[in-house]
Amino acid sequence: MGAHLIVGLDVDTRGEAEAVVEALGETVSLYKIGYQLFYGGDGLALGKALIAAGKQVFFDLKLLDIDNTVEKGVAAVAGTGAAMLTVHAYPKAMKAAVRGAEGSGLTVLGVTVLTSMDDADVAEAGYGRDAAGLVMLRAAQARDIGVGGVVASAHEAEMVRGIVGERLAIVTPGIRPSGSAAGDQKRVMTPREAIAAGASHLVVARPIVAASDPAAAARAILDEMSGGTRLA
């Protein structure tokens, strides 16, 4: 299974995002647009423009609502031509999302446990499982419901791959190149480690968008990814 680099456009404005995309040129083809840019920086319009320009767009919106609202929201995102969309990995939300994406090229991703959460955070949220146990449950539910993939920490990628098989995407945030700071993430890994563990897509934001030379930073990460056993 080949692996893909997703650059997270975690910036405030459309202009900043377009500058990153221009700097990256042909080095990167898949971009993530999350809350920060989507709501504050005209991210929906930017996403449509990127799609029209031949790029792939991942809308990281983590939808969770009543079934009809999720289904209609996913159908609307599918209509943009987006490649990926996140929903929280609750069974009813995932089932509604699958209905909304039916017939499109949109890959629905179920978010298992945020990479900023550890066992203490999961317990505080009221779950009777540790983080790994909750990821296992959500991954099995995602597999059975038929979404296109899951979002999980790279630390759980090997376990998740054993649950979902080779067909589903495993998208891993919290990726930090060797020697970089973890920031606000608690469960992080290097690109090489994540690929070796079974991840199919790596999300990298700050180490690329904040770099003085984003293209060079992206190429270095791609080189590091190529050292993972799944790409060897």
68 is in an annotated binding site: yes
65 is in an annotated binding site: yes
Cα gap 185→183, rounded to integer Å: 6
Residue 54 one-letter amino acid: G
Buried b / exposed e across 121-157, counting CB within 10 Å, b at 16+?
Answer: ebeeeebeeebbebbbbbbebbbebebbbbbbbbbbb
Tell me which of 48, 55, 62, 95 is the catalytic residue: 62
CA distances in angstroms from 229 to 135, 201, 204, listed in the order given? 23, 14, 20
231 is in an annotated binding site: no
138 is in an annotated binding site: no
Cα gap 35→26, rounded to integer Å: 25
67 is in an annotated binding site: yes
230 is in an annotated binding site: no
62 is catalytic: yes
55 is in an annotated binding site: no
Q: Please give the annotated binding residues, written as ranges.
A: 10, 32, 60-69, 115, 176, 185, 206
Catalytic residues: 62
Q: Please give the annotated binding residues for substrate, written as ranges.
A: 10, 32, 60-69, 115, 176, 185, 206
